[in-house]
Amino acid sequence: MSLQRQPVGETPDGLDYDALAELLDGYVLDREQHLNCEAFVIRPDDVAAVLSTLRDRAAFDHLSLVTAQEYRDRYESIYHLKKYDDPTQELSLVVPTPRDQPHSQSGADVFDTAIWHEREAYDLVGIEYDDHPDLRRILLPETWQGHPLSLDYNQDKPQIVPLREHANPMEGRTDVADRSDTMFINIGPHHPATHGVLHLKTVVDGEQVVDIDPDIGYLHRCEEQMCQQSTYRHQIMPYPDRWDYVSAGILNEWAYARAAESLADIDVPVYAQVLRTMSAELCRICAHLLAIGTFALDIYGEFTAIFMYAVTDRERIQNLLEELTGQRLMFNYLRLGGVAWGLPEPRAEYLETVRSVMAEFPDRLEEYHNLLTSNELFQMRVLDTGVLPAETAKSYGATGPVARGSGIDYDLRRDDPYGYYDELDWEVVTDDGGDNFSRALVRLQEMEQSARIVRQCVDVLADWSGEREIQSDVPRTVKPGGEVYRAVEGAKGELGIYIRADGTDTPARFKIRSPAFSNLQTLEVLAEGEYIADMIATLGSLDIVLGEVDR
């Protein structure tokens, strides 16, 4: 008998929901069927108890997403749970609360990641979480009136954002307390090292960070609202490009395509899957190159060689993507049931170009390794700084290179296969270090694997003998029903979409699980107690994109 207890509900052929319901006997009010998994309805004051039971007894250690939504008769929070060991084992907890009293217990005691997710739910939908450590607005200004994703929100009502609200809080305060080393620094929202419009309220004691409070929402462009008022078939697809805008567009589009395809039960031809896989991996290389380039920028200074090299390599790959999709950055290439168009003519010539760029790529990577990972100056800056232990990473819901840099072997391309990945020969890169170095190293090695995938896809496409079917038959108007949560491995980690369809041609609720949002949340753990210069390096190695954090 092993010391470790077998998690409840785990059977060789999938999850046994009856056993889980038995484990939660007395808590489960009702059972619903979502398209990706079963959902248990629980009472709003049992949230923490149920979450901790599921985590401790049934090994649900990944709180992927908290979705909040409003119905005509109730509010609802949905906790999407997964396992890091096997993300196909999913369970949703549905927590309904009455309209006149939208109070629900917070899950923040069990999963740290719930802190921000619940703050967002409070901000946009208006559900209040009891016992939440820090329930205030996260994306919108403090002076905002109303909750924009609630049903009775009137968007035409003017909002007031006085300029004074954002005045320098330290202005006029010249009297420094008697030789104190503690001071408050605003880093951002306009700052070259914050990779966009992130605002870090930092308290430093000498050189050490005492307290850090990331203030986000400076790029909250209402992506969820935009998707909720657009039609499934054509109008939503351009928006995912603008979440993770670092040329990772096709990865994001795939997240939406996967969710919508499983919602509307659409098949994708194999040829289109190969095209998707190839273009998505080109996007991943582009995104990681920018991450490496700007990380070097943070470490070394302004516009140095590595940044220029990274941009040069990105240009090469962007040229390939432009030839394929017609755009450099906002590809809008995927469609429900396939892709927009096939390879550019002449096909053989295009594939030869891709092949030659990918053949050179290992040499290019060697150069990055010479300049970065084997460079002593770089090592001094990043080794053993910003250490993220695996358990903390799991509690914060970290995914992608951040989790893999902490030794968590979690990659949806392999664990929850989609596209053409399971036909190809590649490996998931992990590193046990957990520090800034590991995260950079994982990205560099992942690019190698991505190049490997692209090369194999090119071979498959070159040898393709059957019909080149790029789209399956999809009705002009898609009107699905049901609820689904589906995720793909985006450039920054698990990029998931929750859609509730109500039978019309637009989603009733469209919720984005942004990997960068969860990853950024770990900054507080990583930076507090460290030197402020290391905090900048840590932020760079987390590789956030504000378009995805704020949505």
Q: Which of 158, 172, 301, 466 binds another protein (CB under 8 A)?
A: 158
Decide if residue 153 touches another protein (CB under 8 A): yes
Residues near 16 by beta carbon (within 8 Å), at least 6 away in sequence: 9, 10
Cα–Cα dist 193/195, whole Å: 6
Residues near 319 by beta carbon (within 8 Å), at least 6 away in sequence: none
Decide if residue 405 touches another protein (CB under 8 A): no
Name the one range near another protein by CB under 8 A: 23-31, 87-95, 242-250, 354-362.
242-250
Decide if residue 163 touches another protein (CB under 8 A): yes
Buried b (16+ CB within 10 A) or exposed e, 465-501: eeeeebbeebeeebebebbbbbbbbbbbbbbbbbbbb
> And the tokens for 204?
């430093």
Decide if residue 160 touches another protein (CB under 8 A): yes
Contact 526, 388 (CB under 8 A): yes
Q: Which of 41, 183, 203, 226 binds another protein (CB under 8 A)?
A: 226
Contact 424, 529 (CB under 8 A): no
Decide if residue 229 touches another protein (CB under 8 A): yes
Cα–Cα dist 28/50, whole Å: 9
The interface mask with another protein, positions 408-437, x = CB under 8 A, is: ------------------------------
Choice between 457 and 520, CB closer to another protein: 520
Contact 35, 263 (CB under 8 A): yes
**Min CB(329)–another protein separation in Å:** 6
Q: Which of 108, 246, 275, 454 binds another protein (CB under 8 A)?
A: 246
Decide if residue 214 touches another protein (CB under 8 A): no
Name the one range near another protein by CB under 8 A: 256-264, 324-332, 362-370, 494-502.
324-332
Cα–Cα dist 1/100, whole Å: 51
Of 110, 77, 87, 106, the residue nearest 37 (C-alpha): 87
Decide if residue 527 touches another protein (CB under 8 A): no
Choice between 82 and 364, CB closer to another protein: 364
Decide if residue 157 touches another protein (CB under 8 A): yes
Decide if residue 348 touches another protein (CB under 8 A): no
> What are the CA-CA distances from residue 293 to residues 296, 310, 312, 506, 545 (Å)?
5, 5, 10, 39, 14
Choice between 361 and 485, CB closer to another protein: 361
The interface mask with another protein, positions 126-145, x = CB under 8 A, is: -------------xxx-xxx
Q: Which of 152, 156, 463, 473 binds another protein (CB under 8 A)?
A: 156
**Min CB(225)–another protein separation in Å:** 6
Decide if residue 516 touches another protein (CB under 8 A): no
Residue with tokens 């893999």: 404
Residue with tokens 């989609």: 418
Choice between 328 and 414, CB closer to another protein: 328
Name the one range near another protein by CB under 8 A: 205-213, 220-228, 493-501, 510-518.
220-228
Choice between 159 and 370, CB closer to another protein: 159
The interface mask with another protein, positions 263-302, x = CB under 8 A, is: ---------------------------x-----------x
Cα–Cα dist 61/59, whole Å: 6
Choice between 144 and 464, CB closer to another protein: 144
Decide if residue 155 touches another protein (CB under 8 A): yes
Start-to-end C-alpha separation, the chain = 48
Residues near 50 by beta carbon (within 8 Å), at least 6 away in sequence: 24, 27, 40, 42, 93
Contact 241, 330 (CB under 8 A): yes
**Min CB(166)–another protein separation in Å:** 4
How many residues lie near another protein (CB under 8 A)? 57
Amino acid letter for position 99:
R
- Bridge partners of 30, per DSSP, are 41
Contact 86, 528 (CB under 8 A): no
> And the tokens for 536?
């900048």
* Positions in the binding site for another protein (CB under 8 A): 139-141, 143-145, 148, 153, 155-167, 189-190, 192, 195-197, 217-223, 225-226, 229, 238-239, 242, 245-247, 290, 302-303, 307-308, 311-312, 314-315, 328-330, 546-547
